[in-house]
Structure 1
Amino acid sequence: MGALNAGQAVQAAEAPVKLQGLRGGTPVNQDNAPSAFRQERDHGPADRDFVQQPPLIPHTTSGYQITKNFNKCMDCHAWQKTKASGATKVSVTHFRTREGQELDNISPRRYF
């Protein structure tokens, strides 16, 4: 019985453990301040997380003009220009109509 009392005395002497939640010291009735948004800079191609995932754009597209008559992306990603630009080719699926017909240029359905 004496050993049991000694163990209880040690526990009582230790300071309580203070736990830290994911919110830090912010009370539940308040929000954490949002982190500052930083525009991502140009970088190399990103790894894909699954087999059919489209490539992620590794550069800014701010100011790119895309209309029914012009697509700035094709300056580098058109099949004829990828060797010189080093850009990823546009997928063959972009050249198919809704009915599955193969076209020589990007299908208009990609613009709408």
Structure 2
Amino acid sequence: MKKLAFLGALALPAIVVAGLALAQSAAETGAGVKSLRGVQPDVELDVEPVFHQEKQRFVRNYRLQPPLIPHSIDKYQIDMRANECLACHDWKNAGNRGAPTLSMTHYTDRDGIQTENVASRRWFCNQCHVPQADAPALVENLFHSLGQ
């Protein structure tokens, strides 16, 4: 048992040195890492403010495409307990707030039964809907809609 402990004590400095060399190597190669936008990952990019819609809806590029969100949702709470989108877009509030109402599919549960409240499978709006932003493309987009 003492021999095993002695051999382990001899091997420990070699392991530490190898770990330090690996960490230094990773730090050197990490300096050359770039994001898809061509800058260092920790560099802040200037992006135009989120576009705000002026009474017209965005053109959809394919059938059943979820509509884009025409306003910022940065500070919106959307979690298991709360969904701030519903303050304006729930059928009960949309008329008073002048906001588009959710489609009836959002009130249909997984068994196809219409309910008074938003179905749990449609609760997290940003799962399908995203705010429109004027941001540089990460990669070239070759998509063409059928309508073009």
TM-score, reference length from structure 1: 0.60
AA of the residue aligned to 1:38: E
Change (3 A) 1:32 1:103: closer
Report the count of equivalent residues.
82
Q: CA deviation at 1:32?
A: 8.4
- Name the structure 2 match of 1:61: 73
* Contact 1:68/1:108 (8 A) holds in 2: no
Change (3 A) 1:103 1:37: same
Q: Which runs of 5+ in 1 are unaligned?
A: 1-30
AA of the residue aligned to 2:58: A
Percent of residue pairs identical: 33
Change (3 A) 1:110 1:32: closer
AA of the residue aligned to 1:81: N
* Contact 1:77/1:88 (8 A) holds in 2: yes
AA of the residue aligned to 2:109: T
Coordinate RMSD, CA, aligned? 2.4
Distance 1:97 1:50 in 2: 25
Distance 2:79 2:46 in 1: 32
Q: CA deviation at 1:98?
A: 1.5
Q: Structure 1 residues 57-66 or 39-48, which shifts more?
A: 39-48
Say which of 53, 78, 82 aligns to 1:43: 53
Q: Deviation string for 1:9-31 (max 9, x for gaps)?
A: xxxxxxxxxxxxxxxxxxxxxx9
More helix by share: 2
Distance 2:37 2:83 in 1: 40
Q: Does 2:130 align with 1:94?
A: no
Distance 2:76 2:82 in 1: 10
Distance 1:85 1:94 in 2: 19
**Which protein, 1 or 2, shows the higher relative CO under an 8 Å CA cutoff with sep ≥ 6?**
2
Distance 2:76 2:106 in 1: 19
AA of the residue aligned to 1:49: N
SS at match of 2:88: helix
